[in-house]
Amino acid sequence: MTASEAPTIESLTHFCTLFQPLTSSGLPALEECYSDDVDFADPLHRHVGRDNLMAYYADLMEGVRHCHFEFHDRQLLGATSFLTWTMELAHPRLRGGRNISVAGCSHLQWQGQRVCRHRDYFDVGAMLYEHLPVVGWMVKGVKKRL
């Protein structure tokens, strides 16, 4: 396959499958979906390069009891795709280890069959801040007032 090949719906489906669930043991397969120079960003971080991104994913998985993505909408137009999803996450330091549900979307740019740009958009408060002691109470209070 050449870099000029357009991604296929099968490429997108395979990418999504690797997040169901997302586990440390599944990271090597996920790594193959990204280009060497991938540019990744979410509301909290930015990582350039596949090695940096995979180190980030490995750090994220530390202590995670469960991480699963349910993908709702998938759109592929040329070398661009959009995904809407709900992430179910359980981590002992968030919400007492109980599941957290966060809605989000991803914008992917493809180079052939590999993702070269990955942007995730989600509510950081719903994922993180609302579930931290003291901070969570304040964030929920602000949201109520708005």
Q: What is the pLDDT of residues 54-81, one digit of tens each?
A: 999 999 999 899 999 999 999 999 999 9
Residue 37 lies in a domain: yes
Please determine, for residue 136, whether its predicted confidence score (pLDDT) is greater than 90.
no
pLDDT per residue as tens digits for the range 14-57:
999 999 999 999 999 999 999 999 999 999 999 999 999 999 99
| % residues pLDDT > 70 (the chain) | 83
Is the residue at 1 inside a domain? no
**Helix, strand or coil, per DSSP, at residue 15:** helix
Task: Provide the CATH number for the domain around residue 101.
Answer: 3.10.450.50
* Structural domain containing residue 62: 9-145
Within a domain: 122: yes
- The structural domain count of the chain equals 1
Whether 128 is in a domain gets the answer: yes
Report long-range pairs for 30-36 (Cβ below 8 Å, ≥24 apart): 30/54, 30/57, 32/114, 33/114, 33/115, 34/114, 34/115, 34/116, 34/118, 35/111, 35/114, 35/115, 35/116
Bond into 7 cis (ω within 30)? no
Question: Taking CA 88 as the corner, what is the angle to CA 107 and CA 124, rounded to the nearest 5 degrees?
Answer: 60
Q: Assess if residue 57 is contained within a domain.
A: yes
Question: At residue 130, does pLDDT exceed 80?
Answer: no
Asked if residue 109 belongs to a domain, the reply is yes
Residue 54 falls within a domain, yes or no?
yes
Task: Identify whether 3 is part of a domain.
Answer: no
